[in-house]
Amino acid sequence: MADLVSTWVGATAKQIARGVRRGDVSATSVVADHLEHIGVFDAELAAFRTVRGGEAIVEAEKVDEQDDLANLPLAGVPVAVKENTAVAGLPILNGSAAAATAVAEEDDEVVRRLRGAGAVVLGTTRMPEMGLWAVTDDPDGPTRNPWDTDRTPGGSSGGAAAAVAAGLVPLAHGNDGLGSIRIPAACCGLVGLKPGRGVVPCKLGVENWFDLTEHGMLATTVADAAIGFAVLAGRRPEKLVPPSGLRVAVSLRSPVNGIRPDEPNRQAVATAAKLLVGAGHSAITADPVYPAKLGLAGLATWFAAAYRESAQLDVRALQPRTRRHIRAGRWAWNRGMVRESDRAGWRERSIGFFTDRAVDLLLTPALAATPPRAEGWAGGSWRTNLLGSMRYAPYAAPWNIAGLPSIVVPVGIRPDGLPLAVQLTGPPGSELTLLGVAGQFEMANPWPRHAPGWPRVSAAL
């Protein structure tokens, strides 16, 4: 972490909020530090789409003027918001100018809750066009992973993950339709929680991707992730209680036939299983059964979500990969391949896995392979993008379809120097249990909070 005598860049959200509440530092000073850091170093990563600058300083000054700082869990904390979510006064860009909608007249409910908790929105972060891909790349250039700038930070909340992993902000908002928080968290060594369906209000695009999408936060610590979750869920933050005596199913099986996790990701699961046992839990081998029709239903829904959302866009101006995706979605939609009954059936079957096997959580890999290269995806073919996303990140999507809570937690470093992570999934209402287990992992096996060499605090700071 950076030297807190000269700058608060690199501090956790919890540290910053405590410092602002105590009067150790002003929100204005914290925000100014982070804006300067972004201005100097984001050019290396392209994490941000817009930076609010003076507007953010004015908001920070308003935080400093409040009389009730003690009741603000994110007092003065700089945050970023994914660019597909309404921030009053900013366009909703959805990953490209061609996919943009009108300038937002008011904040989305989750942004309103962040601001109500004392957070200051510094800007919006980049995503792939329409949030469709597990890489964050557009014609303006790719967003880069601070762990290795030749690699992607994942998608679709790739800009959010890159910003947090580099210390540009301590906490960033993301949303997750088929893994879009958890995949970037795994790529960038962060904690990323996708809440269960209906826990956090979410209204994105047309029909919210058929209710697959959830809002969440990316953080460097479990404590920050827990505070961010509580704020988005409209709850009072509470101290996490370490769970005990859980029975956890451990599975390497991929939801996509023919894809197997590479050796580092297999070892990540083995490490996590040992951490579970060390914390007093039981780890048993038990594979969910992923029916073939689940994959077909998932693909059809992914395609159709793009088709339905494109109705308000000039499709001709979109990237070729996106146009092809929309055509596939029109075909699937017109043939009745997107059915609520399929999604409801998988949800029921998923909940049944926990009850029938008498297990509390499911442990799987977060990724199947190392994050792919950063460049070349926006101009690539639909097939290349489709297969590229599925081959390295197949584990997240089933839990969006089921609407179950799921978290990604760092557990080590790959031989190539990139972070390793695992995914934990639970039944409805298990968000705090997931965070509690993640906290046990963090205590027993601490991870680097930021990518090596980040944050890059300049001498001017």
CATH number for the domain including 109? 3.90.1300.10
Per-residue pLDDT at 149: 98
> Looking at 156, 251, 254, 406, which residue is catalytic?
156
- For residue 78, the surrounding DSSP H or E stretch is strand 78-82
88 within some domain: yes
274 is catalytic: no
In this structure, what is the dihedral angle of CA atoms 205, 208, 214, 218, given to the nearest 10 degrees?
A: -20
261 within some domain: no
180 is catalytic: yes
CA neighbor of 365 nearest in space, from 396, 390, 388: 396
Range in 39-43, 93-97, 131-135 the model is least confident about:
93-97
Asked whether the predicted pLDDT for residue 139 surpasses 90, the reply is no
Per-residue pLDDT at 1: 40
Range in 210-224, 403-417, 445-459 the model is least confident about:
445-459
251 within some domain: no
- Count up the domains in the chain and report the number: 1
334 within some domain: no
288 within some domain: no
Work out the pLDDT band at 3, boundaries 50, 70, 90.
very low
Per-residue pLDDT at 206: 60
Asked whether the predicted pLDDT for residue 36 surpasses 50, the reply is yes
Per-residue pLDDT at 272: 98
Asked whether the predicted pLDDT for residue 368 surpasses 50, the reply is yes
Per-residue pLDDT at 312: 86
**Structural domain boundaries, residue 70:** 13-246+369-444
3-state secondary structure of 260: coil
Quick one: tokens of 216?
A: 């969440």
Q: What is the mean pLDDT of residues 155-175?
A: 98
Work out the pLDDT band at 338, boundaries 50, 70, 90.
very high
How many percent of the chain have pLDDT more than 70? 98
Are 121 and 52 within 8 A, CB to CB? yes
Asked whether the predicted pLDDT for residue 459 surpasses 50, the reply is no
47 within some domain: yes
How many percent of the chain have pLDDT more than 90? 93
Per-residue pLDDT at 450: 98
Q: What residues are paired with 174 via a beta bridge?
A: 216
Contacts with 357 (C-beta within 8 Å, 6 or more apart), sequence order: 249, 286
Q: What is the mean pLDDT of residues 136-152?
A: 94
> Looking at 82, 251, 254, 389, which residue is catalytic?
82
Give the CA count within 13 Å in the CB-facing half-sphere of 159: 30
423 within some domain: yes
> Looking at 14, 96, 157, 180, which residue is catalytic?
180
130 within some domain: yes
- Other C-beta atoms closer than 10 Å to the C-beta of 265 total 26
156 is catalytic: yes
pLDDT tens digits along 252-305: 999 999 999 999 999 999 999 999 999 999 999 999 999 989 999 999 999 999
